[in-house]
């Protein structure tokens, strides 16, 4: 992904992409990734957010983290942790 689009995602969703330096995919995935990021952040801001897997509170509270975004065998793959129930379905829906 271009540096410009990478910057937009890091700027607009800093907590979500705190552990991700680069996106291993082309710019054609930007819109889908942006919409997913927005949705995940909306869900994380709900007061009943509770992750299903183990995670650590890093001082800014528990928040989902996208750790890798890449294209493998022609499919978009998104890896994350600290996801709440129902978040994975949103990731799966765009990862095609």
Residue 47 has what pLDDT? 61
Q: Closest Cα to residue 71, out of 42, 28, 41?
A: 28
- Cβ within 8 Å of residue 29, ≥6 positions away: 1, 23, 69, 71, 76
Kindly report the pTM of this predicted structure: 0.84
Q: What is the pLDDT of residue 86?
A: 81
First-to-last alpha carbon distance for the chain, in angstroms, is: 17
Cα–Cα distance between 67 and 46 in angstroms, integer? 22
pLDDT (tens, 9 = 90+) of the chain, 96 residues, equals 999 999 999 999 999 999 899 999 999 999 999 999 999 999 888 766 666 655 555 555 578 889 999 999 999 999 988 887 788 888 888 876
């Amino acid at each position: 992904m271009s540096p410009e689009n990478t910057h937009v995602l890091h700027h607009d969703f800093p907590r979500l992409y705190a552990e991700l330096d680069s996106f291993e995919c082309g710019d054609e995935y930007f819109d889908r990734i942006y919409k997913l990021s927005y949705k995940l952040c909306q869900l994380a801001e709900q007061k009943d957010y509770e992750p299903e897997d183990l995670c650590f509170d890093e001082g800014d509270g528990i928040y989902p983290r996208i750790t890798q975004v890449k294209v493998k065998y022609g499919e978009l793959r998104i890896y994350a942790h600290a996801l709440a129930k129902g978040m994975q379905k949103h990731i799966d829906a765009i990862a095609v």
